[in-house]
Amino acid sequence: MAFLPLTIEEQVADMRAAWPSFAHRTFGKDAVIWQGTLKPLTRSYDVQIAYSTDMVISGPEVRIVSPRLTRLPGNPEGSLPHVYNRDRDPVLCLFDPAREQWSGWLFVSETIVPWTIDWLACYEFWLMTGAWEGGGRHPPSTGRRINVENYP
C-alpha cells in the first residue's frame, strides 16, 4: 500500500475511466463531487458522491438526489434502512466502519459506486417486500456518525 492515500486527481481520473457517465466538479485539489445516473433494477436514480481529503477515514458521502427515497414507516429496519441522517438528509451507509472496508487508499469507482448499486438494489426489494435482504447491521443509538476512529 502506498504511504499516502489516493489523491483527488487520481480518484477523478479513475472514475472517468470506470464510470464515464458520471460528471464531476472539483474544488481545488481537496474535494470533488460526482453526479450520475444508476439504474440497478427497475428505476433510475440520480446519485451524488461527495469526497474530500478529510474523508479518507469516514468515506465519501453518497446521496440520492432524485427521486426522493421512499420511507416505510414502522418497518423493523427503520423507515429507511442503512443511512445516516435518516430524517433530514439521508446519506447512504455502505460499509461497516468496524471492518475497515473503506479507506482513502481505495478507488471510489471500485467500492463506493458498486456498493451504491448494491444499496439501491436492496432498497428496491426492501420497498417491494419489506425485508432488507442485503445484510449489514444497525448500531446502538449514539447520536453521532460512526467511523473507524470513533467506533465504540
**Interaction residues for another protein, span 12-51 (CB under 8 A):** 17-19, 21, 36-44
**Cα(140)–Cα(146) distance, rounded to whole angstroms?**
11
Q: Are 81 and 93 spatial neighbours (Cβ–Cβ below 8 Å)?
A: no
* Nearer of residues 4 and 141 to another protein, judged by Cβ: 141
* Nearer of residues 56 and 127 to another protein, judged by Cβ: 127
Sequence-ordered list of residues with C-beta below 8 angstroms from that of 101, at least 6 positions apart, any chain: 95, 111
**Cα(94)–Cα(142) distance, rounded to whole angstroms?**
18
* Nearer of residues 28 and 144 to another protein, judged by Cβ: 144
Other residues' Cβ atoms within 10 Å of the Cβ of residue 93: 22
For the window 106-135, what string marks contact with another protein as x by the rule CB under 8 A?
Answer: ---xxx-xxx-xxx-xxxxx-xxx-xxxxx
| Residue 103 touches another protein, criterion: CB under 8 A | no
Q: Which stretch binds another protein (CB under 8 A): 2-10, 25-33, 48-56, 79-87?
A: 79-87
Closest CA to 146 of 110, 81, 95, 104: 95
β-bridge partners, 33: 25, 50
| Binding residues for another protein (CB under 8 A) | 17-19, 21, 36-44, 67, 70, 72, 76-78, 81-86, 93-97, 99, 101-102, 109-111, 113-115, 117-119, 121-125, 127-129, 131-142, 146
